[in-house]
Amino acid sequence: MAIIELAKVSKVYRVGETETRALDRVSLSFEAGEFTALVGPSGSGKTTLLQMVGCLDLPDSGEIWMEGQNVVALSANRRADLRRAVIGFIFQFFALVPVLDAYENVELPLLLSGVGASERRARTLAMLEAVALTDRMHHRPDQLSGGQQQRVAIARALVKRPLVVLADEPTANLDTANGEQAMEIMRRLNEQTGTAFIFATHDPRVMGFARRTVQMVDGRVSAQEAVASGRVLA
C-alpha cells in the first residue's frame, strides 16, 4: 500500500537570474515499511525530494499525497502537525538540540506530541536501548562522538513511531565503522517497527543496504530498481 505518492512534482530554485530545476515532474510512490535509497550525484534533486516529502518545503507544481491528504494544499501549521505525527528526520549534520542531553533530545518529539510522562519515559528508554546509548543518555551532544550523535538522531526520529523516516546523507559525516553501525541500526529498526525509510545518498556502500533504489539525475527519476534483500557493505 502506498503511503506517499508524488504526482508531477516540480521545483525550481532561483538565485538572481539563474534558475535551477531541482525537481522536474517527478512522479513516485513509496510503500509502507520499505527501505529505499535515493541515489544520484550532487544536484540531482535527492535532498529536494526529501524536503518535499517531509513537508519542509512546497513544490512549484504537482501534488504530494500523504495520509490521504494533498500536503501541498495544507497550511504551515497543518504541515507541522504532519511532521510531528508521521515523519521522522535524520540529517547529515546530526542535528541535535545542543542544550538538551541525549535522553531529552529523544524525548522531545513525544513532548511535542503530548504523550504522557510514563509512556514517554518507557518509549524514550526503549529507543535509547535500541541504539545502544542507555549509558550515555545524560550526555549532551558535545559530549558524544559523531556516531553516537547520529544514533541519538535515529532514536529521536523513530521514538514517535512515524510512518516514514527521511534520512539525508545520514552517513556522510561518519567514518566507515560508525556509518555501517548507523545503517545496521536503521535496517534493524525498519524490520522491527515497519517504519519506512527513505534515505538520500551518493555513497555506493550505503546503497547496498537498500531494498529499493531510485536513481535520480537532473531532477528526474532515471531508474528504479528493487533489490531482493539489502546486502552488507563491501
Cα(50)–Cα(43) distance, integer angstroms: 13
Q: How near is the Cβ of 81 to other proteins at its closest, in Å?
A: 7
Residues 35 and 60 sit within 8 Å (Cβ to Cβ): no
Using CB under 8 A as the binding rule, the residues of this chain from 54 to 83 that contact other proteins are 54, 56-57, 76-77, 80-83
Nearer to other proteins, 7 or 85 (CB): 85
Q: Is position 99 an interface residue for other proteins (rule: CB under 8 A)?
A: yes
Nearer to other proteins, 34 or 168 (CB): 168
Report the residue from 112, 122, 226, 232 that binds other proteins according to the rule CB under 8 A: 112
The residues, ordered by sequence, that sit 6+ positions from 199 with a Cβ below 8 Å of its Cβ are 36, 37, 38, 90, 166, 167, 168, 169, 170, 186, 206, 210
Using CB under 8 A as the binding rule, the residues of this chain from 132 to 161 that contact other proteins are 156
3-class state of residue 8 by DSSP: strand
Give the 3-state DSSP-derived string for 206-233, with helices as H, strands as E and coil as C. HHCCCCEEEEEECCEEEEEEECCCCCCC
Q: Is position 2 an interface residue for other proteins (rule: CB under 8 A)?
A: no
Q: Is position 199 an interface residue for other proteins (rule: CB under 8 A)?
A: no
Amino acid at the residue 12? V
Q: Which residues pair with 61 in a beta bridge?
A: 10
Nearer to other proteins, 58 or 227 (CB): 58
Rg of the chain (C-alpha set): 17
Size of the site for other proteins (CB under 8 A): 29
From the list 33-41, 100-108, 172-180, 184-192, the region that binds other proteins by CB under 8 A is: 100-108
Binding site for other proteins (CB under 8 A): 51, 54, 56-57, 76-77, 80-85, 87, 89, 91, 93, 95-100, 104, 108-109, 111-113, 156
